[in-house]
Amino acid sequence: MTASHNHPTDSTITRPLRRPPVIFVHATAPTRTADVGGWTDTWFARSGTVCNVAIDHRSDVRVRAQPGSDRVVRLVIRMTGEDYEFSMGDPPGRHPIIEHAILASDIPGSIEVDIADSTVPGSGLGTSASVMVALVSALAAAIGDPLDAGEAAAMAHSYETVTGKQSGVQDHAAAAWGGISRFDVQYPTVRRELIVPPPVAAAQLSARLHTVYLGAPHASSALHDEVIERLAAGHGEDELDEMRIAARAAADALRIGDLGAYGMAMHDSHEAIESMHAALVGADAHALVALAREHGARGWKVNGAGGHGGSMTVLGPDDRDADLALRAAIAQHAGWQRFDAAIAAPGVTTEVSVVEGRAVADLQAELAEALGDHEGDDGGSEGSSM
């Protein structure tokens, strides 16, 4: 042993202790609308095509990670008002998909995840997929291993399905890539083609594509299970084929800027969903279809899997005044709400910042000074009240 190991000037003794750095990540991801061909991107359809439109109605996830020996998670979910902590070795299972994703990231230290109340769950716009894409992207960025769009979509989808949830792949793909897309699916793999309509058509699509929330979240899990069981048994293949054809037609129409043909493709996909099971188009959706027809809309489609509640997309008429009248009529319906966010929204984004560790002695000095100021303030307050 050498004397230097116990020398009082040894840097291992005199170096001030420092806190590890804190990593902050802010991730957002779009939702999607007008999913022509939805239902064909699933395990029971095996293969399919979907044409959908990402919208700037975004999920918002913030992650704070700090390396260290404390492996504790704090999870804040603002849409439900929940705020709870758990050990990484003992997740409570309150939100198993989210908890599983956090634990799978294997961040060596404490972590806080804050999911904003920025989307409407059960809207049929792929909100849970959007949240998961933002979450896995934020977690990967926090450990310095950022994901590309394909990786983010695949990872988010795998975490949802590993817990037993039924989920197609188009929602995660739309959240990851954004834009207007054609997705060709050999479940669970996805090949994406970006669709860029001509400028005039893109401007009109932006002005006329109306996403309408029908006043209540989806409440149709039993119905969807019934439809899935029927499809898994080999029934409904004709309807799935109609959806695939409609999706290809929608992508072709948008590519050349033919909004009339695009509206017809939306209509055909909608009709195929209703043909697969009448209850997949609820009473509010029927009411909106009647309103859309009355005002000369070019197309419409129930979003997502359909059923009671959720949302529907309407491609308004070419005439501006007729479209304004349609929008006014929608606004008059109690409980309905238009989500006309910007279309062709960018895919998942992440912003990373790192706050370097501070010397513990400096922090203690600042705290002592702050406490001293506080005590002085209290003393002055007591003196003035006497």
DSSP string, 92-141: --SSHHHHHHHHHHT-SEEEEEEE-S-S-TTSSS-HHHHHHHHHHHHHHH
Amino acid letter for position 264: M
Kind of pairing, strands 209-213 and 311-315? Answer: antiparallel
Task: Print burial letters for 283-294: b (CB count within 10 Å at least 16), e (below 16).
Answer: ebbeebbebbee
Q: What is the pLDDT of residue 328?
A: 97
Q: What is the pLDDT of residue 37?
A: 98
What is the Cα–Cα distance from 209 to 309, expressed in whole angstroms?
19
Do 64 and 23 touch, CB atoms closer than 8 A?
yes
Residues of the chain with pLDDT under 50: 1-14, 378-386
Q: Is 319 helix (H, G, I), strand (E, B) or coil?
A: coil
Q: What is the pLDDT of residue 368?
A: 64
Query: How many C-beta neighbours within 10 Å does residue 134 have?
Result: 32
Q: What is the pLDDT of residue 4?
A: 41
Place of tokens 């001509």: 198
Do 212 and 314 touch, CB atoms closer than 8 A?
yes
Between CA 225 and CA 236, with CA 231 as vertex, the angle to 5 degrees is: 125
Q: What is the pLDDT of residue 367?
A: 56
Return phi, psi of residue 158, to 5°.
Answer: -65, -40
Q: What is the pLDDT of residue 162?
A: 85
Q: What pLDDT, in 10s, does the model give residues 197-239?
A: 999 999 999 999 999 999 999 865 678 888 888 887 878 999 9
Q: What pLDDT, in 10s, does the model give residues 3-33?
A: 444 444 444 444 555 668 899 999 999 999 9
Residue 252 is classified by DSSP as: H
User: Who's near 101: CB < 8 A, 6+ residues apart?
Assistant: 132, 135, 136, 139, 156, 159
- Note if the pTM is more than 0.85: yes
Q: Is the dihedral of CA 134, 139, 144, 146 positive or negative?
A: negative
Q: What is the pLDDT of residue 20?
A: 80
Q: What is the pLDDT of residue 167?
A: 86
Residue 305 is classified by DSSP as: T
Q: What is the pLDDT of residue 380?
A: 42
Q: Is 70 helix (H, G, I), strand (E, B) or coil?
A: coil
Q: What is the pLDDT of residue 198?
A: 98
Domains of the chain, start order: 22-350 (3.30.230.120)
CA 82 from centre of chain: 18
